Amino acid sequence: MKIGYPCINLTLDCRSNHTFRLKNYSKERLESTIEANLNCLQKILEFNKDNKILFFRITSDLIPFASHPILDFEWKKHFKTAFEDLGAFIRKNKMRITMHPGQYTVLNSINEKVYESSLKELFYHVDVLDLINLDYSAKIQIHVGGVYGDKKASMERFINRYFRLDNKIKNRLVIENDDKNYTLSDCLKINEKASIPIIFDVYHHQCNNLGEQIKEAFKRVSDTWKEKDGIPIIHYSSEHPIKKRPSHADTIDLIHFKNFIYLTRDFDFDLMLEIKDKEISALKALEIISNDARFLQN
DNA sequence: TCACGTCAAGCAGAT
DNA sequence: ATCTGCTTGACGTGA
């Protein structure tokens, strides 16, 4: 079991998600921004290594405007070596990496233009993970998408479009249950047809479910991950103590977390903590699982 | 130097 | 009709 956090490290004084306004776009500005982002990413990974955090989500903002028509800079060629170095570091330290395209990536959109730009965005994410030279356990996770008043048709549209995807994307793409539209049960139905692995988000499930208990859910979800996909990925958060659902907690609730770890003791998985204080909570979680057999076997 | 309106892009649900 | 949340945070203009 590896513990991870998404995109941003709050302890370090650098960010790997620097961007700028489209109206200020220039090749030079893009190059210097990417360079700063890659440098910071390296620092974050070093921090993670030093703190035994072996799971991390790379921000989609790593390359600003990567799928935008304005882009006129060959960033893949230009930063080839930097990506190779990152890859060597990640593989040497047996880290797991994921990426999560934003809310504008909607594979099942009824708007053809949105569908096309979503494909571009998926290729961008694939390019990053391919340049870093990671195996297919490095996943790109998306939600199923929009409902458009007809969930059945929208799920079928997702499946049909999934089948037509380039293998480069299919090898890495996974779906995650969301807090409003597509439940675990919906994702499992899609998996039956498309064999796409499912990231189970425990907190989303709490917000949006058909009554499945955690253990039952873990069993079903684990079966969707094949050998080449790596062990299952689980997303964990708990609800904010004051704000109403679906607000994520500001920091980890240690009692809730201990209970979760105990409940899932029969399963092995990598755990992404979607909690606002990022690595602070990840470090607390690590301490709790430091004597767990699933952690020790890594 | 700092505050605060705005940022490439979608969708659903609440106000 | 407009706002909010989603990975919400970072940019950048104006004072």
pLDDT digits (tens, 9 = 90+) for A100-136: 999 999 999 999 999 999 999 999 999 999 999 999 9
Q: What is the pLDDT of residue A237?
A: 87
Q: What is the pLDDT of residue A250?
A: 81
Q: Which of residues 99-158 of A touch strand C (CB under 7 A)?
A: 100-103, 143
Q: Does an H or E element contain A139, and which? A: strand A139-142
- Enclosing H/E stretch for A153: helix A151-164
Q: Is the CB of A185 under 7 A from strand B?
A: no
Whether the beta carbon of A241 falls within 7 A of nucleic chain C: the reply is no
Q: Residues near A53 by Cβ (< 8 Å), separated by ≥ 6?
A: A2, A3, A4, A5, A47, A279, A282, A283, A286
B chain positions with any atom within 7 Å of a protein CB: 7-13
Residue A107 beta carbon within 7 A of nucleic strand B: no
Q: Kindly report the pTM of this predicted structure.
A: 0.96
For chain A, the C-alpha Rg in angstroms (whole number) is 19
If you measure CA to C1', which residue is closest to nucleotide B13? A180
> Which residues, given as ranges, of chain A have pLDDT below 50?
none
CATH number for position A138: 3.20.20.150
DSSP class per residue in A74-129: -HHHHTHHHHHHHHHHHHHTT-EEEE---TT--TT-SSHHHHHHHHHHHHHHHHHH
User: Quick one: which H or E segment has residue A58?
Assistant: strand A55-58
Give CA–CA dist A158/A244, Å, rounded: 31
Rounded to whole angstroms, the Cα distance separating A18 from A40 reads 10
> From the CA of A183, how many Å to the C1' of C6?
16
Q: Is the CB of A110 under 7 A from strand B?
A: yes
Q: Tell how many helices (H) and how many strands (E) occur in chain A.
A: 12, 8
Question: In the beta sheet, which residues pair with residue A56?
Answer: A5, A97
pLDDT of amino acid A298: 62
Structure tokens at A130: 């391919």
Q: In terms of residue numbers, what domain contains A141?
A: 3-296
Helix (H, G, I), strand (E, B) or coil at A274: coil
- Does the nearest atom of strand B lie within 7 Å of A270's Cβ? no
Q: What is the pLDDT of residue A129?
A: 97
In this structure, what DSSP letter does residue A231 have? S
Whether any strand B atom is under 7 angstroms from the Cβ of A67: the reply reads yes
Nucleotides of C under 7 A from a protein CB: 5-13
**So what's the pLDDT on residue A248?**
74
**What pLDDT score was predicted for residue A277?**
87
Residue at minimum CA to C1' distance from nucleotide B10: A104
The total number of structural domains in chain A stands at 1
Task: Give the 3-state secondary structure of A24-40.
Answer: HCCHHHHHHHHHHHHHH
Q: Which nucleotide is nearest to A36 (CA to C1')?
A: C10
